[in-house]
Amino acid sequence: MTKDMTNGSPMKLILSFSVPLLFGNLFQQFYSLVDTLIVGQYLGVDALAAVGSTGSLNFLVIGFCMGVCSGFAIPLSHKFGAGDYRGMRMFMMNAVYLSIVFAIVMTALMVIFCRPILQLMRTPDNIIDDAYIYIVIIFAGIPTTYLYNLAAGVVRAMGDSKTPVVFLTIASFVNIGLDLLFITQFGMGVSGAALATVISQAVSGVGLLIYSLKKFDLLHTEREERKVNRSLMATLCNMGIPMGMQYSITAIGSVILQSAVNTLGSNAVAAMTAGGRIGMFFTCPYEALGSTMATYGGQNVGAKKLDRIGSGLKACSILGIAYSAVAFVLLWFTGERLAMFFVESANVSIIADVKLFLLINSAFYITLAFVNIIRFLIQGMGFSKFAILAGVFEMAARMIAGFILVPMFGFTAACFANPIAWVFADIFLFPAYFYVCRKTKEMLKI
């Protein structure tokens, strides 16, 4: 079930690895969409806006967790590519120890401070109570986020992108069922949506952990391999923390942008929420291609086959560009109908704003494709600190939009915030890729 990505056609390897990841991402976004759909249809626009107003803060924290776990998986992919399975297991165990510490500290801090943060974000008074209830439950479930993402990272480092998808699929159906039960039957409101998300995440994490330990003999550790190793922890932190910070730094810009949109009223927040959730569904292929390139780059660097890096980037770029064209056409014709899944047809202005958001963003999807493909490839090659700089460029763009453009031009400016951020990131990432390739050749003396 593991996959060696150091031999064979890059295009075929990237497709076979990324397709399962794509389905996993789609299912993950699917149950996120269901959350939003059920909240919007059963609890109303204010509840939808409340959940949406926490999106950037959610990404700031949960994105850090996901980035850290992705970074922890990079040394594992290097060891797997080099055939050093004992070293891989040692890294895995020390990643587990670090994840436990990170999860405990982050959960405590975010549960304590999330309401003051919502107030700083100028969350409208009519939705702040529901926003707090929703996000505090999500943050209480941070340990489940670490559990699933670390387990998935370990499995993907060995070239298996299919197994995590199975458990995400299970989690999706669990989440949908619990959403309907908690909201429509138990009347739990937004707290029901949050609790359903946490429980489904726990189900996927525990299930993937148990299955992987039973299925993969490579993961069975010996006593010596379970020892705390400060040197390995330092390597893991050097990979994981920058990747986590990249997500968080990017999200800081999103928080500032969300704060600006909050001043436009709950209707604007609802439109951004619906447009953002639809957009996240359509951008899943970019995440799948990015995660694929992280493993592809990691394994080939471990095997010292740097000649395959460029051919892999070319193949992945072709896929990303082709999909971008298809996505734009689809959203051009379906944007308005998709918006009606989230809000009633009578809310004409909100629907129009959702469609505007989708069209402007999808017109720049090619730039987003390169952000994911090149950034994750660089990270997989072992240069995760560059991710921070890419995130700084994105943050700067969203800060410009939040502090200057939105107050001047309103909702239309908010629609251009993401495209501007993607362009800024690409301006940095293209030259960074060539620098990384040169430095890698020097380090490996190739």
Query: What is the pTM assigned to this prediction?
Result: 0.74
Instruction: Give the per-residue pLDDT at 169.
Output: 85
Instruction: Give the per-residue pLDDT at 61.
Output: 85
Residue 446 has pLDDT above 60, yes or no: no
Tell me which of 161-165, 232-236, 397-401 is least confident: 161-165
Residue 2 has pLDDT above 70, yes or no: no
Closest C-alpha among 345, 123, 390 to residue 246? 390
Tell me which of 13-17, 121-125, 417-421 is least confident: 121-125
Cα–Cα distance for residue pair 247/62, rounded to 1 Å: 9
Residue 52 has pLDDT above 80, yes or no: no
The answer to whether 65 and 146 are in contact (CB under 8 A) is yes
Q: Which residues contact 359 (CB under 8 A, 6 or more apart)?
A: 331, 332, 335
CB atoms < 10 A from the CB of 430, how many? 11
Instruction: Give the per-residue pLDDT at 158.
Output: 85
Closest C-alpha among 283, 235, 348, 256 to residue 26? 283
CB atoms < 10 A from the CB of 34, how many? 20
Of 34 and 39, the structure prediction assigns the larger pLDDT to: 39
| Secondary element (H or E) of residue 387 | helix 385-400
Q: Which residues contact 288 (CB under 8 A, 6 or more apart)?
A: 18, 19, 21, 22, 24, 25
C-alpha dihedral (371, 28, 34, 272), degrees to nearest 10? -20
Per the prediction, the chain carries an average pLDDT of 87
385 HSE (CA, 13 A, CB side): 5
416 HSE (CA, 13 A, CB side): 11
Cα–Cα distance for residue pair 293/309, rounded to 1 Å: 9
Terminal C-alpha separation, the chain: 31
Of 124 and 421, the structure prediction assigns the larger pLDDT to: 421
Instruction: Give the per-residue pLDDT at 1.
Output: 53
Residue 3 has pLDDT above 70, yes or no: no
* Distances 383 to 159, 279, 369, 432 between C-alpha atoms, Å: 20, 29, 19, 10
In this prediction, residues 242-254 reach a mean pLDDT of 77
CA 208 to chain centre: 19
Residue 387 has pLDDT above 80, yes or no: no
DSSP assignment string, 336-377: HHHHTTTS-TT-HHHHHHHHHHHHHHHTTHHHHHHHHHHHHH
Q: What is the pLDDT of residues 66-75, one digit of tens each?
A: 889 988 988 8
Instruction: Give the per-residue pLDDT at 249.
Output: 78
- Give percent of the chain above pLDDT 70: 97
43 HSE (CA, 13 A, CB side): 29
Instruction: Give the per-residue pLDDT at 237.
Output: 92
Of the ranges 116-120, 345-349, 359-363, 387-391, the best mean pLDDT one: 359-363
Q: What is the DSSP letter of 305?
A: -
The answer to whether 353 and 270 are in contact (CB under 8 A) is no
Give phi and psi for 46, each to the nearest 5: -65, -40
The answer to whether 74 and 299 are in contact (CB under 8 A) is no
Q: What is the pLDDT of residues 88-138, one digit of tens each?
A: 999 999 999 999 999 999 999 999 998 998 898 888 888 889 999 999 999
The answer to whether 11 and 153 are in contact (CB under 8 A) is no
Tell me which of 47-51, 92-96, 353-357 is least confident: 47-51
Cα–Cα distance for residue pair 234/154, rounded to 1 Å: 18
Instruction: Give the per-residue pLDDT at 32.
Output: 67
* Distances 219 to 112, 210, 211, 277, 422 between C-alpha atoms, Å: 36, 11, 11, 36, 38
* Distances 12 to 18, 48, 298 between C-alpha atoms, Å: 10, 41, 17
CA 43 to chain centre: 27
